[in-house]
Amino acid sequence: MKKLFGTWRFRSSTPAFEAGQEVSLYITGFEIGAHTGVARVGDSILTVHGAHPADVDCLVKLRVDDFDHDQSTGAAQLIRE
């Protein structure tokens, strides 16, 4: 049994990011009043600057500006290519 499950690994429900890291994520929402997108990965939330309502449900490339590991929240810029 040990051999069968020996390579299994569980992902965190709160993945962490580092400033400057580039990631591809889905925009899952848009805050109209703040003019920012929202990208959720598990329980981690990134506020996405430069996003538009049309970006919701689209896979986009982001550059992380900052991330609070204790709160699992941060900010990122949308990279338009």
In order of start, what are the domains of the chain with their CATH numbers? 17-79 (2.40.50.140)
pLDDT at 32: 94
Scanning the structure block, which residue is given the tokens 């986009």? 60
Task: Supply the pTM of this predicted model.
Answer: 0.83
User: Helix, strand or coil for residue 59?
Assistant: strand
- 10-residue mean pLDDT series, the chain (81 residues): 58 85 96 95 95 97 96 96 76
How far is Cα 37 from Cα 70, in angstroms, rounded to an integer?
21
- Tell how far CA 49 is from the center of its chain: 12
pLDDT at 80: 87
pLDDT at 77: 98
